[in-house]
Structure 1
Amino acid sequence: MDSAVNWLTENSDMLLHYAVQAIVAIVILLVGIRIAKMAEKLTKKAIEKRKVDKAVGSFLANIVYALVFAATVLMALSQVGIETTSFIAILGAAGLAVGLALQGSLSNFASGVLIIILRPFKSGEFIDAAGHSGSVSKIEIFSTELLTPDNKTIIVPNSAIMGGAIVNYSRQATRRVDIMVGVSYDACLKETREVLEKVIKSNDKVLNDPAFFIGVHSLGDSSVNFVTRSWAKTEDYWAVYFYLQENFKLALDEADISIPFPQMDVHLNKISEK
């Protein structure tokens, strides 16, 4: 016990020195984290003022936070006496090993950078990518967040998005609404065309330019299949689609034009016993 007390007495100055350094390092770390969060918020605000895509702002803000946080950690380590130059060299060597082990994460990061540069989609646009559909909520460093029409959040890795086809439903101002309608072989084709045309013209959300098209698509097993191709603004697509589907059926019923369903005729032959 006496030896421990003597050691503490003899080394009190050294212990006090290291204690002060440790406290300063902790303060630097805490202040640095706070500064990193402030820098992240300021970056977002600055980008919003320039009316840049929100997804891009979120991505850049995350990078700013990571850089400031990394600088803070290096300053805190330097304060407690760790040589940062050799530490950075060690980190570089370790980073190579970690990079090989985390190829998927690095691929996600690189894909996130490509998304920002190539801009295949932006915040608010409705896309289909990596087998998922939804509106782009935000683009993070490693993943992209989608919001589905039924209000579910889907987080998709950036590498999965850039590794396949991306369908952007919102990029163009207009979309074509294709609907197939099958009618009986007994129906008058001219009358059927007139009925379908009347329904299309009754919807003021259907664009006049480009003009709509109605034609016989195919002669099916049990029906003559008409295809209707109407154009609408992208935001009106589903309203036009559901309107035409419902009113085609109502108008055809009113005109006594039947819409057949698949059916099979079965013939029974009686075999006489010998």
Structure 2
Amino acid sequence: MEQIMAWVGENQDLILSYVIKFIVALLILLVGKMVANSVAKLLGKGMSRRGVDGAVISFLSAIVKSVIFIAAVLMALSQVGVQTTSFIAILGAAGLAIGLSLQGSLANMASGVLIILFRPFRAGEYVEAGGVSGTVQEVNIFQTILKTPDNKVVFVPNAQVTGQPITNYSRESTRRVDLLIGVSYDADLHKTKEVLESVLQAESRLLKEPAWNVQVHALNNSSVDFIVRPWVNSADYWAVYWDLMREIKIALDKNDIGIPYPQMDVHLFKQASQD
């Protein structure tokens, strides 16, 4: 114990300098973290004022925050005497090894950059991406966050998003409602078309241009199929779809136009026995 105290007494200046360096390094880390958060927040506010998409804001803010904090860590290490040049070289070698083992994560990061650059969707749009349908909440470094209509939050890897077709249901202001209505072979086709068109005429949310289309589409095994294709504003799509299906069924019933069940005619032949 005496030896330890003696060593401390002999090296007070050295110990004090290391303590000061350690405290300064901690302060650099704390200040660096605060600066990273503040800069990311200011950047987000600035881009919001300019009307930049929310997904882009979250992505760029995360990158800026990470870069500033990494710089603070390197400054703190330099303060306590760690040679950052050799440390960077070690990090580079370790990064290569880690990169090879984390190819999926790097692919997600690269895909996130592509999503931000080409912007196939924006925050608030309803899309089908990566096999999931939902409203875009956020695009971060590794994942795209979607909220499904039943209020589930799904985290889809960015590589999965860019690796499959993306359907954006909100990008265009109008959509076509596609209905397939099957009626009986006994039905009067001219009357059926008039009934279907009368239902469309009564629906005020349909657009005048482009005009709707009602035509005989196919002669199936048990029904004659009509296509009913009106155009609506994208926001009205599902409400109009459901209302038209209900009103068409009611109108067909009122006019005694049947919607047949799938059926099959079976013909039996009796073969005379041979003596």
2-structure distance, mates of 1:131, 1:199: 35
1:141 aligns with 2:141: yes
Once the two structures are superposed, the pairs formed by residues 112-261 of structure 1 within 5 Å of their partners are 112-261=112-261
Q: Report the AA paired with residue 65 of structure 1.
A: K
SS of corresponding position for 1:21 = helix
Q: Distance in 1 between matches of 2:270 and 2:51?
A: 80
TM-score (norm 1): 0.95
Tell me the secondary structure at the aligned position of residue 248 of structure 1. Answer: helix
Q: Segments of 4+ in structure 1 off by > 6 A? A: 267-274
**1:47 maps to what in 2?**
47
Query: How far does residue 256 in structure 1 lie from its aligned partner after superposition?
Result: 1.0
**In the alignment, structure 1 residue 58 sits paired with structure 2 residue 23:** no
Conserved 8 A contact 2:136-2:145: yes
Matched position secondary structure for 1:181: strand
Q: What is the Cα-based RMSD across aligned positions, in Å?
A: 1.7
Q: Which amino acid in structure 2 is aligned with residue 240 of structure 1? A: V
1:100 aligns with 2:78: no
User: For 2:191 and 2:129, how far apart are their aligned partners in 1?
Assistant: 42
The residue matched to 1:156 in structure 2 has which SS?
Answer: strand
Report the alpha carbon displacement of residue 133 of structure 1 after superposing the two structures with TM.
0.5
Distance 1:97 1:50 in 2: 40
Quote how far apart the aligned CAs of 1:265 are.
Answer: 4.7
Report the alpha carbon displacement of residue 59 of structure 1 after superposing the two structures with TM.
0.7
The alignment covers a number of residue pairs equal to 274
> Residues of 1 paired with 2:90 and 2:216: CA distance?
71
Deviation for aligned residue 1:12: 2.2
| In 1, Cα distance between equivalents of 2:171 and 2:49 | 23
Q: Does 1:111 align with 2:111?
A: yes
Gaps of 5+ in 2: none
Deviates more, 1:134-143 or 1:85-94: 85-94
One-letter amino acid of the counterpart of residue 86, structure 2? S
Q: CA deviation at 1:264?
A: 3.7
Rounded to whole Å, the distance in 2 between the matches of 1:103 and 1:10 is: 52
Partner Cα separation in structure 2 for residue 269 and residue 176 of structure 1: 49
Distance 1:187 1:227 in 2: 16
Partner of 2:18: 18
Deviations 1:238-265 (A, max 9, x none): 1111111110000001111111111345
Counterpart amino acid of residue 137 in structure 1: Q
1:241 partner amino acid: Y
Counterparts of 2:268 and 2:28 in 1: how far apart (Å)?
91
On the 8 A contact 2:129/2:164 being kept in 1, the answer is yes
Looking at structure 2, the residues matched to 205 and 147 of structure 1 have their Cα atoms a distance apart, in angstroms, of 27
Whole-Å separation in 2 of the counterparts to 1:55 and 1:247: 40
Q: Secondary structure, in 3 states, of the residue corresponding to 1:14?
A: helix
* Unaligned ranges ≥5, structure 1: none
Residue 83 (structure 2) aligns with: 83
| Percent identity between the two aligned chains | 55
**TM-score normalised over the length of structure 2:** 0.95
- How far does residue 65 in structure 1 lie from its aligned partner after superposition? 0.3
